[in-house]
Chain A
Amino acid sequence: MSNALTTDAAAEPKLGIVKEVGRRLRAGDGGLVPILIGLAVLVVIFQVKDSVFLSSGNLTNLFTQATIFILLAMAEMWVLLLGEIDLSVGYMAGLSAAIAVILVDPQFHWPWYLAMLLAVVTTTLIGALWGTITIRLALPSFIVTLAGLLGLEGVLIYFVDHQGTGGTVSVSNRVVYDMVNANLSPLFTWIFVVACVVVFSFFIFRKDQLRRGSGLETVSLTMTFLKIGLLTVASVVVVLIFNANRGSFIVLEGMPYAILVDFAMLALGSFILTRTRMGRYIYAIGGNAEAARRAGINVNRFRLLAFMFTGFTAGVAGLLYASRLGGVSDGIDGGNLVLLAVASAVIGGTSLFGGRGKMISAVIGGLVIATIYNGMALLNLPTAEQFVATALVLLVAVALDSIARRGSAVGR
């Protein structure tokens, strides 16, 4: 064997952190860095135009606004990673909201936890139904879930209109209402965030230490501490935002419960995608389904599971949506919601062709969309301009991604 071809990793000169980041950015391998820069630019623009933008009150509002986009984008991730799509997530969320709100209403008077459970189980089963039809009949998921979008809109209108309350049902349960509209106390906000930082830092540190201990190449210790440091700083900033008093007449402070749900779903999704066989297989199927099949993976089983996770996550999103709107109406625009969910995922760096994307992409993408809507509303810009601005950001995000990816190490 000729050693002329050998380029051992150890022989490669050590790059500085800055150089390394620069190299990866040019190679289209920068992960979330480009989109975070984009988000920062948006924030600066809005802050310059209106100094209210970066106030604690507005930022907290932005985070709760973003919740529906973030959760629906996370729902969409499961199927997008397979190269499939689910157009019905908007109305799945709507239906979940309707089930929960109607069942806790005095006329049925279900306990909130049973109502929520039934809502989420229903959307999970709907996801299973779309998955089964798509797999068994070998139909494009686009068409199956397009039928789902139309069908579920009908079901939603039917349920809501049959309550005899004029097309809207208000939330009559304290817990359902409080999910978005009440906050952890500042002390518990600190406890929660500090606990998250400690646990996450521990995992980062342990992973890098284990790799070092096994003699595998890894980032330098400085890089590990830099990651942990950045995480800590970001978390402290977030806590300070949430814990500042944002009420004008009464004291209003602490992290909304909805953010806890975002964190929980992000942690669950990331954990499954990166640490378990199921996650590995979802990426493999999205990358090359035939290769996955030949490797002995039961491809259809994991496709079905992904559709069910989409339904489950959309159901959870619906509960928070009902809480934020204070009720459910027959006019919920599930079509628009799903398109914004897909846009969020794509802005965050997810491929529509499957096999590429992370759960955190959905969060960042959802924040970008919410930032545009929030900022433009602050500036009193009409809806027309909000749509155009969203369109531009989406186009710029995918165009930059595509250009950066040409000839990159990441492939298509």
Chain B
Amino acid sequence: MTSTPETRGSTTPMAPMDPASSGVSPSSMLLSLRGVSKSFGAVQALQRVDLDIPAGQVTALIGDNGAGKSTLIKVVSGIYAPSSGDFYWEGNKVQVHTPRDAEALGIATVYQDLALCDNLDIVENMFLGHEIARRGLLDEIKMELTTKRVLNELSVTTVKSTRQLVGSLSGGQRQSIAVARAVMRDSQLVIMDEPTAALGVSQTAQVLELIKRLAARGIAVLVISHNLNDVFAVADRLAVMHLGTLVSSGLVTEYDTSSAVQLITTGERGGAPLVGSTPR
């Protein structure tokens, strides 16, 4: 609620870290993609994408429908194996071919539908599939205490009780629970697909605050969004996709709304293509 996005032009709310730190070499990035392509038969969905995701910063992935954003996050989260190209995790080359590979690295994806069970309470959802048990019996107290701790750390204070059913929560609270679940499993990169698409104004502000807190904890966040106001309010870096290629990426301060819109729609900025001229 405090920092309502009043962004016009290129002003951007303070980044939790020194913005200069993003102009660093690939080896200091948490995750770097180099020349990643993905084709489905004859359709080339991704063409030689180079993307850098630094820890502790929010990277916004923007682009029109069909630009390849969803394909890209599915490649990063291991749902699609890339046709070619390399992944570097903290500078080391890694293979991400299955969701389990991605999970093992510490990549968590929060999908638009959040994958929560409405009939279970917050604690049960947080630990779903990863329950703490002692001699085969669920250790409810330990799970509840951990849930409370994680929610407190993320300052998710709007829920009354951690034993509330998730079905009774608001959209923003549900989003918060889904994010908290990803954080609780020690994820280092949290990917969020359209986190604010279904939310009202105050709920959106809540979620944007949460995203900033994740970055402040040193977690890398990759956000897909259609809402440029949200993007400029929360992102440290932008990556713009157009027709399967990454046409531009860099610090958010290098963009304003009109240049972002132009990149999204034409893949070029002000006539002169920017591809390759961005800081890496």
Contact = CB atoms under 8 A, between A and B. Distances in A.
A5 B128 contact: no
Contacts of B164: 409
A1 B2 contact: yes
A7 interface: yes
Contacts of B271: none
Contacts of B113: 290
A2 B133 contact: no
Contacts of A216: 141, 144-145, 148
B161 A217 contact: yes
Which of A7, A12, A280, A411 has the most CB atoms of chain B within a 10 A radius of its CB? Answer: A280
B1 A287 contact: no
A356 interface: yes
Interface stretch (A104-112, A293-301, A370-378): A293-301
The range of chain B's interface size is 35 or more
Given A216-B141, A409-B164, A8 B115 contact: no
Given A1-B2, A216-B145, A283 B117 contact: yes
Nearest to A351: B119
A63 to B, nearest CB: 31
B193 interface: no
B23 interface: no
A410 B168 contact: yes
A355 B165 CA distance: 12
B268 interface: no
A395 interface: no
Interface string A294-328: 11110000000000000000000000000000000
Contacts of A280: 120, 124, 128, 131, 138
Which of B117, B136, B167 has the most CB atoms of chain A within a 10 A radius of its CB? Answer: B117
A412 interface: yes
A283 B119 contact: yes
B117 A288 contact: yes
A275 B133 CA distance: 9
Interface in B131-167: 131, 133, 136-138, 141, 144-145, 148, 155, 157-158, 160-161, 164-165, 167
Overall SS of chain A's interface: loop
A275 B141 contact: no
A297 B129 contact: yes
B141 A210 contact: yes
B1 A292 contact: no
B116 interface: yes
A72 to B, nearest CB: 24
Contacts of B157: 1, 3, 5-6, 8
A295 B115 contact: yes
B161 A9 contact: yes
B186 interface: no
Contacts of B248: none
Contacts of B167: 409-412
Which of A216, A287, A292, A294 has the most CB atoms of chain B within a 10 A radius of its CB? Answer: A287
A9 B162 CA distance: 9
Interface in B201-249: 202, 206, 209
Interface in B99-116: 111, 113-116
Given A5-B1, A275-B137, A295 B129 contact: yes
B6 interface: no
B129 A292 contact: yes
Nearest to A357: B119
Contacts of A355: 117-119
Contact of B165 (A6, A12, A210, A410): A410
- Cβ-closest 5 pairs across A and B: A411-B167, A295-B129, A287-B119, A2-B1, A355-B119
Given A2-B2, A288-B118, A290-B113, 9 more contacts: A5-B202, A214-B145, A287-B117, A287-B119, A288-B116, A295-B128, A297-B129, A355-B119, A412-B118
Interface of B: 1-2, 111, 113-120, 124, 128-131, 133, 136-138, 141, 144-145, 148, 155, 157-158, 160-161, 164-165, 167-168, 202, 206, 209
26 contacts: A2-B1, A2-B2, A5-B206, A6-B158, A216-B141, A216-B144, A275-B137, A276-B138, A277-B131, A280-B124, A283-B119, A287-B120, A288-B116, A288-B117, A288-B119, A290-B113, A290-B115, A291-B114, A291-B115, A296-B129, A297-B129, A355-B119, A356-B119, A409-B164, A410-B165, A411-B168
